[in-house]
Amino acid sequence: MSNPRSSSSSRPLLIRGCGIVTMDEAAGDLGSGDILIEDGKIVAVAPHIDAPDAKVIEASNMIAMPGFIDGHRHLWEGIARHALPTDNLMEYFHRVNHGFASAYTPDDVYLGTLLSALGALDAGITTVFDWAHIQTTPEHTSAAIAALRDAGLRTVFGYGPPGRQDRGHQWPHDLLRLQKEDFSSRDQLLTLALASSSPEHCPDEVAKAHFAMAKDADLIITVHAAMNGFGEKEQILRFGKEGLLGPHVQLVHCNTLTSEEWRVVADTNTSVCFTPSAEMQMGHGVPPIQPSIDVGIIPSIGIDVETSVPGDMWTQMRIVYALQRMQSHELRYSGAEAPACIDCNDLLRYATIGGAINARLQDQIGRIASGLQADLVLLRADMINVMPVNDLKSAVALNMDARNVDTVMVAGRIVKRGGTLFGHDLNALARRFYAARDRVYADANEPLKSPQHRLSVEAALQN
pLDDT digits (tens, 9 = 90+) for 92-145: 999 999 899 999 999 999 999 999 999 999 999 999 999 999 999 999 999 999
Region 304-329: mean pLDDT is: 98
pLDDT at 168: 78
pLDDT at 165: 73
**Is it the case that residue 7 has pLDDT exceeding 60?**
no
Q: How many angstroms separate the CA atoms of 121 and 312, rounded?
A: 10
417-433 pLDDT tens trace: 999 999 999 989 999 99
By DSSP bridging, strand 376-380 and strand 41-46 are unpaired
Quote the strand ranges of 41-189, DSSP E.
Answer: 41-46, 55-58, 62-66, 68-73, 125-132, 154-159
Per cent of the chain over pLDDT 70 is 95
The pLDDT confidence band at residue 451, using thresholds 50, 70 and 90, is low
User: Apex CA 185: angle with CA 180 and CA 188, to 5°?
Assistant: 125
Per cent of the chain over pLDDT 90 is 89
**How many CB atoms sit inside 10 A of residue 91's CB?**
14
Question: Contacts from 390-396 at CB under 8 Å and sequence distance 24+?
Answer: 391/344, 392/19, 392/20, 392/21, 392/29, 392/31, 392/63, 393/21, 393/29, 393/344, 393/345, 393/348, 394/344, 395/63, 396/21, 396/63, 396/65, 396/344, 396/348
**Is it the case that residue 3 has pLDDT exceeding 60?**
no
Average pLDDT of every residue of the chain: 93
41-87 pLDDT tens trace: 999 999 999 999 999 999 999 999 999 999 999 999 999 999 999 99
Contact 253, 226 (CB under 8 A): yes
Yes or no: domain 68-358 corresponds to CATH 3.20.20.140: yes
**All residues at 6 or more sequence positions from 128 whose CB lies less than 8 Å from its CB, including other chains:** 69, 70, 73, 75, 117, 120, 153, 154, 155, 156
pLDDT at 457: 52
The pLDDT confidence band at residue 222, using thresholds 50, 70 and 90, is very high
Task: Just give the CATH number of 4-67+366-421.
Answer: 2.30.40.10
The pLDDT confidence band at residue 1, using thresholds 50, 70 and 90, is very low
**How many CB atoms sit inside 10 A of residue 420's CB?**
12
228-287 pLDDT tens trace: 988 888 999 999 999 999 999 999 999 999 999 999 999 999 999 999 999 999 999 999
**All residues at 6 or more sequence positions from 453 whose CB lies less than 8 Å from its CB, including other chains:** none
The pLDDT confidence band at residue 5, using thresholds 50, 70 and 90, is very low
Q: Which helix (H) or strand (E) element contains residue 333?
A: helix 313-333
Q: How many angstroms separate the CA atoms of 322 and 372, rounded?
A: 32
Sign of CA dihedral 450, 308, 432, 107: negative
The domain segmentation of the chain, as residue ranges, is 4-67+366-421, 68-358, 426-462
Region 304-312: mean pLDDT is: 98
**All residues at 6 or more sequence positions from 231 whose CB lies less than 8 Å from its CB, including other chains:** 198, 200, 201
Q: How many angstroms separate the CA atoms of 204 and 212, rounded?
A: 12
Region 14-21: mean pLDDT is: 98
